[in-house]
A and B are shown apart, each in its own frame.
Chain A
């Protein structure tokens, strides 16, 4: 059971939240220069890390704000909660992007 520290509302139970998967994906562009391979990778390929992973979360049944979480997918420990606008800090990366 996750207790997630929403930056606006504070600690709330996981069933108020929705996880939207891997954070920091960058949409390739401009559109007419994007290869099928790059587009497919952007849409479908995921690092799917076992270990520390950066994720986007939404406080769906709360303030409805988006934010990022650095979370260990094996232990479920949440290491860091940070704004979506913030780049991932290199010292806290646990694996490939």
Chain B
């Protein structure tokens, strides 16, 4: 572990100054480290959750020797594959506390990490198309207000007035809209890179191309991690492997209450600005926003059979396209430019797991399923607390594995953006 790592602050002035050296003097954003033989904490998975956990461990808990092991490249999992919607419009108080902590951390993240994550609070709308939708959305709005989350409810005319270009007379008429004004989108890669850069500066070793292949466990305690780049001793190991959580935990003999599904995303060819907010509509099973490059970014429901293939199936692509055209028939001649899928670790109650396990020293951060990008800052914040102290922070207490034994589920299934 090197003491002082090269670092240069990003700012208008430093950019200008670097211009005089033809932008050649920049140190790498993070050090591509080689593994040491032991650490105080090993984190498995270099997605947003793993990297944020490492950062907060170093920053808030004074843990000195930390590494993040990533089998591919950082942010190459779901963190770099998601549609970047950030919102905290959940139903249960436990979830609202968790996701709103995350949203609040996102609001200050660019400044804290000195990295522009392009967080754009352009608002997130949920549209209601029937009397029943309206009742559910009113209930959501009330729950959000009770949970201290911002919510605005609009009737059909006002919804149409505020969202330009919506089909005036769709086959699922728009009756109402629920807006969370503080919601929005951010640049997904930047979130991974920003945490990596800040963690690396604090001495965290970020080790790529290093796959975890097993664990050495004795007397019920984790002793070391076996990797494709050698064994690494550590008293504390945190797993943040998203869709591969069951596999990695399985290497330690654990079985988790998760199923892995493929979730797809679609991006259209770029066009001029046409949509300045984020829309989610469960009746048509689709959600969309427009990227700064002008592409429509479109998501739908899961491919509803277990999958580890990061590609996705055709029927869902067709459904998502149909859902978009239902709202915006004028997009019918746009072509999909790209399509991909990520593997989501879905828990039975669609809520995350931040928990100790039967193996002492081994902890899991998983179960974020289709919605854990918005939770990266909070996931890292709360998981680092658990790894450093062995105890759950107050806001994480409801999210341990114990709920699958006691039955105290946080059943957000019905509140997911696109129900699954």
Which A residues lie at the B interface, using CB under 8 A?
1-2, 13-15, 18-19, 21, 36-37, 40-41, 43-50, 53, 55, 73-76
Q: Knowing A40-B405, A50-B244, A74-B308, say if A13 contacts B257 (CB, 8 Å).
A: no
Can you pick out 16 interface pairs between chain A and chain B where the beta carbons lie within 8 Å of each other?
Answer: A1-B313, A1-B314, A1-B315, A2-B305, A14-B315, A15-B315, A37-B405, A44-B404, A45-B255, A46-B258, A47-B250, A48-B259, A48-B306, A50-B260, A73-B308, A73-B309
Query: B101: CB under 8 A from chain A?
Result: no
From B247, B250, B305, B309, name the one whose CB has the most chain A CB atoms within 10 angstroms. Answer: B305
Taking a contact as CB atoms under 8 Å apart, the answer to whether B309 and A19 are in contact is: no
B313 touches A2 (CB 8 A): yes
What's the Cα separation between A58 and B206 when bound, in Å?
45
Q: Which chain A residues border B122 with CB–CB below 8 Å?
A: none
Judge whether A19 and B315 touch: CB under 8 Å. Answer: no
CB nearest to A75 among chain B residues: B309
Given known pairs A1-B313, A14-B315, A36-B405, the reply for A44 and B306 (CB within 8 Å) is no
User: Inside 8 A of B406's CB, which chain A residues have their CB?
Assistant: 36
Q: Is the interface of B mostly helix, strand, loop or mixed?
A: mixed
A36 to B313, CA, bound (A): 38
- Beyond known contacts A1-B314, A36-B406, A74-B309: 5 more, CB 8 A cutoff: A1-B315, A19-B306, A55-B305, A73-B306, A73-B307
Whether A48 pairs with B313 at a CB distance below 8 angstroms is no
- The contact string, 1 if C-beta is below 8 Å from chain A, for chain B 277-315, is 000000000000000000000000000111111000111
Find out whether the CB atom of A46 lies under 8 angstroms from the CB atom of B259.
Answer: yes
Q: Is B246 among interface residues, defined by CB-CB distance under 8 A? A: yes
Candidates A19, A36, A74; contact of B305 at CB < 8 Å:
A19
Q: Does B226 contact A (CB under 8 A)?
A: no
Size band of the B side of the interface?
A: 20 to 34
Nearest-neighbour CB distance to chain A for B364, whole angstroms, equals 13
- What residues of A have a CB within 8 angstroms of the CB of B255 in the complex? 41, 45-47
List chain A residues, Cβ under 8 A from B405. 36-37, 40
Q: How far is the CA of A40 from the CA of B401 in the complex (A)?
A: 11
Complex contacts, A75 vs chain B, CB 8 Å: 309
Give the interface centre of A41, A49, A50, A53 by most chain B CB atoms within 10 Å: A50
A49 to B259, CA, bound (A): 9
CB-defined contacts of A49 to chain B, threshold 8 Å? 306
* Complex Cα–Cα for A32 and B247 (A): 33
Contact check, A21 vs B315: say whether CB atoms are below 8 A apart.
no
**B308: A residues at CB distance < 8 A:** 50, 73-74
Instruction: Confirm or deny: B138 has a beta carbon within 8 angstroms of a beta carbon on chain A.
Output: no
Do A21 and B257 have beta carbons less than 8 Å apart?
no
Residue of A14, A15, A21, A43 touching B306 (CB-CB under 8 A): A21
Q: In the complex, A45→B347 CA distance in Å?
A: 10
Q: Closest B residue to A44 by CB, please name it.
A: B257
B1 within 8 A of A: no
Is B257 within 8 A of A45, CB to CB?
A: yes
